[in-house]
Amino acid sequence: MRAGGGPQERGWGRMSHLTVRHMLICLLVTVLAGSTVLAVSPQRAAASELEELQQELQRLQQEMEDILKRLSTTKKQEGQVLSDLAKIESQLEKTRAQLRRLENDLSYLQSLIRRAEIELADAEERLAERQDYLGRRVRAVYEAGTVGYLQVLLGSTSFSDFLNRFDLLRQLVSKDRELMVAVQEERQQVEDRKLDLEQKRLQALSLRDKASAQKASIEYQQSVKERYLAKVREDRELYERSLDELEETSRQLEQEIRRLAPWGTRPKSLAWPTTVRRITSYFGPRFHPILRTYRQHTGIDIGAGMGARVTSAEWGIVRSAGVLGGYGNCIMVDHGGGIWTLYAHLSSIKVSVGQTVARGELIGLVGSTGLSTGPHLHFEVRDNGTPVNPLNWLPK
């Protein structure tokens, strides 16, 4: 695509240019067809008209090849965007699944927290009871003091009773100590459990927030790609319409060329342009390997190797020799009687425009220039500008 301006702006500019060009060409065809009073002979006038129309047809073909190249680029972009969208959708689905898992985990954790809060409330109640009991015991000891314990011991009736009372008092003090330790441990467990549950809740919330942010980011990427895909498809449709318009104009020129009397005598047959006769793609509708769509194949592809010799199929005059859009390095030879041959994707051109070539004479070498997937020769035969099946002109 050309730089500058949005696809829609470039598209309407392109269509406007093509429409004006189409009108000018139609006007040219009308004027040439209606010219009857000429200062030169009818034969020379017809030859001049034919040359102009053939040149215009060649320009149209080059423009069509240029649009085909842009269409190919657009189709590749469309395929890449669709591939990117598929990857984004896969990532988005994984993120959605992760969010669902986190939401479930958070819901489960919240239920555990609610259950723990109930258990903790019960524990706090038991802890309060124990603290109250311990407080009463401490106050009783404080109020009685050491004298209370001595009175208990001195009130013994015998030495054995003294030992029993002393042991009971010792156990009572030990139980008081154990109760205090148990109360402190239970309080610490309650606090630790609260802290652990709160940390888990915060971690779950953090993971959920991150997953939500990731989901939002992926959805934004998806929306950007979808907008770009819409623009790419708009460009593709524009190029396809442009191509259809150019093809229609080309057909009108071909009809006008057929109306004019061609110079010379039509050849009866043509020679193979290469020593190799292996056809890799035939004349007619086919699935284009680069454009990825069904289009008319205007010639045959001969599977000759890189650098193989390409020779003229018949005596004629070289009318074109150079780069021609998607044809790459291309040669067109006029054999008379309205029969032309075309040799495309060459790696090297050995002739020049206006040069007379003989049947079997070297004119170029096989290559892979232009819209090509590998080395081969694209060979066309045109009858008054219209592509025909080359196999009808070549030896069996």
Average confidence (pLDDT) over 19-46? 48
Locate tokens 């598929």: which residue?
86
At 293-312, the pLDDT tens digits run 667 788 999 999 999 999 99
**How many other CB atoms are found less than 10 A from the CB of residue 375?**
18
pLDDT band at 13 (very low <50, low <70, confident <90, very high): very low
CA distances from 186 to 172, 180, 196, 221, 372 (A): 21, 10, 15, 53, 82
At 361-374, the pLDDT tens digits run 999 999 999 888 89
Query: What is the per-residue pLDDT for 122?
Result: 74
Helix H, strand E, coil C: the string for 58-79 is: HHHHHHHHHHHHHHHHHHHHHH
Strand partners, 301: 281, 378
User: At 139, which amino acid appears?
Assistant: R
Backbone angle region of 284, left / alpha / beta, with phi > 0 → left and psi within -120 to 50 → alpha: left
- Please state at what angle helix 159-259 crosses helix 42-154, rounded to 10 degrees: 180
For the chain, the maximum distance between any two Cα atoms, rounded to a whole number of angstroms, is 162
Give yes or no for a contact between 290 and 371, defined as CB atoms under 8 angstroms apart: yes
User: At 312, which amino acid appears?
Assistant: S
pTM metric for this prediction: 0.45
At 83-127, the pLDDT tens digits run 888 888 888 888 888 878 878 877 777 777 777 777 777 777 777
Give yes or no for a contact between 65 and 371, defined as CB atoms under 8 angstroms apart: yes
Burial string for 55-69 (b: 16+ CB within 10 Å, else e) reads: ebbbebbbbbbebbb
* Minimum mean pLDDT range among 185-189, 304-308, 330-334: 185-189
Average confidence (pLDDT) over 11-23? 47
CA–CA separation, 288 vs 296, rounded Å? 9
User: At 246, which amino acid appears?
Assistant: L
At 262-275, the pLDDT tens digits run 567 889 999 999 99
Of 260 and 219, which is predicted with more confidence? 219
CA atoms in the 13 A half-sphere facing the CB of 214: 17
CA–CA separation, 202 vs 198, rounded Å? 6
